[in-house]
Amino acid sequence: MMFVACSKNSVKQTPPVVTPPVTDTLPALAWRGADLSFLPQIQAAGTTFYDSTGAKPALAIFKEYGCNLVRVRLWCQPADVHSSLPEVLAFCQTIQQAGMQILLDFHFSDTWADPAHQATPAAWASLSLTVLQDSVTAYTQRVVGLLKAQNTLPAIVQVGNEINAGMLWPAGQVSGINDANWVNFAGLLKSSIAGVKAADTDNKIAIMLHYAEVDGAASFFTAVNQQAVPYDIIGLSYYPWWSEKDLAYIGGQLNQLASTFNKEIFIAETAYPWTLQWNDNTNNNVGDNSQLIPAYPATPQGQLQYLQQLKTVLAAIPNKLGVGFCYWAPDWVAFKGPAATDGSSWENLAMFDFSNKAQPGMQAFK
C-alpha cells in the first residue's frame, strides 16, 4: 500500500458522470476479501459500526454481506502493539470465530513495506545473507505454526508486500528484472516459502506473490519463474489513481498474465471513493475528480459499480483463473475524531459513511 496525500484544500468538484445501473447479479468469485488490519486499533478506540439494523461488530457486518476472507498484515517488531504477532494471533482467532478465512500478509519489516520501502527488521539488520535466509525460514515457520496451533491456519500466505523492487533491503533489493541481485532476492522468497511449507505439513496454504501494479507484472513474474520460485497466486494492487484507469485495458493485461503464467489472479488491494469530501483533518489520498475513472463518480453507487465491474473483469479471465479481490482498509474511518491530523487518509474510500454506517459498496462481497 502506497501513501500519497491529497490536500483537502485542492478538492475539485465537477458535474458527476451518470453511473450505469447496478444489478443484483454479480460475478461469482472464490475470494471476496477485505484487508481489516486497522480494525483492532479502530475497535480499541471505541468506534461503533452500523448496518441497516443498528450497531453491530464490524466483522459481523462484513460476513453478512458475503465477505469470506480477511487480509491481515504482520510486522516483525513494530513500534507498538498494532500489526504485531500477538495482535495478529488474537485477531485471527476473532476472524475464525466470525466464520471467515485468513490471508496473512508478511511484510518482513518492522513497519510499512511497499515498492519504495522494504526496510529489514532491526533485529536482522546486521545478519549475513545466509543467516538472514535461515532467520526468515525460522520466523515464517514459527508464525504459521502458532496460527496452526490455535486452529487459524491461513488459506493464503503472502510472502512480502508489494515486492516490485525486492524485499529485506539491501540484501534482497533489485532494480529491475536483469539485476544480478535477483538470485539473493529469490533466495529470500524461497526461504520464506520453505518456512510456510515446514509448518503447513498438510499443504493447505496457497502462496501468493504480491506486485504493486498491473503494468510491469509480466516482467516481474518472468524473473520469478527464471529463478524457479514456487508460488500459487499472482497478487496485484490496483488503484485507479496510481494506475491505468481503463478497466478494459486492465482486463486484457490480467488475461495475458493468466495465459502466460497459468496462475490464479488475485487483486490483493483495491479501493474506490464514495465521496471526495473528508471527515477529519488528515489529508486524503483521493480528493480530485481527475483521480477517478470517468464512468464511476465518487458516490456510494459509483463505488459499488466500480467494484462490480472489477469483479466482472476478474470473472472473465479464462479458465476461471480470476479468483478474487481484497478491498484495502474498508474499515479505516475517521476514528480519531474530526480534528485529528493523524487520523485516516482513507475515510472517503472506506465502505462506511461518515456516521460509520455500511455503504452500498458492501454488496460487492455477495
**Cβ–Cβ under 8 Å, residues 88 and 81:** no
Count CB-CB contacts under 10 A for residue 221. 20
CA distance 254 to 316: 10
CA distances, 258 to each of 81, 159, 265, 321 (Å)? 38, 20, 7, 7
**Cβ–Cβ under 8 Å, residues 27 and 140:** no
Count CB-CB contacts under 10 A for residue 96. 17
Strand segments (E) across the chain: 31-35, 50-51, 54-55, 69-74, 101-106, 156-159, 206-211, 233-238, 264-270, 322-328
Residue type, 360: P
CA of residue 238 relative to chain centroid, distance: 10
**Cβ–Cβ under 8 Å, residues 349 and 285:** yes
N- to C-terminal Cα separation, the chain: 25
Query: Would you please indicate which residues are annotated as catalytic (active-site) residues?
Result: 162, 269
Buried-state track 42-67, b at ≥16 Cβ within 10 A, e below 16: bbeeebebbbeeeeeebbebbbebeb
Helix spans in the chain (H): 39-44, 58-65, 85-97, 129-149, 182-199, 217-226, 247-261, 300-315
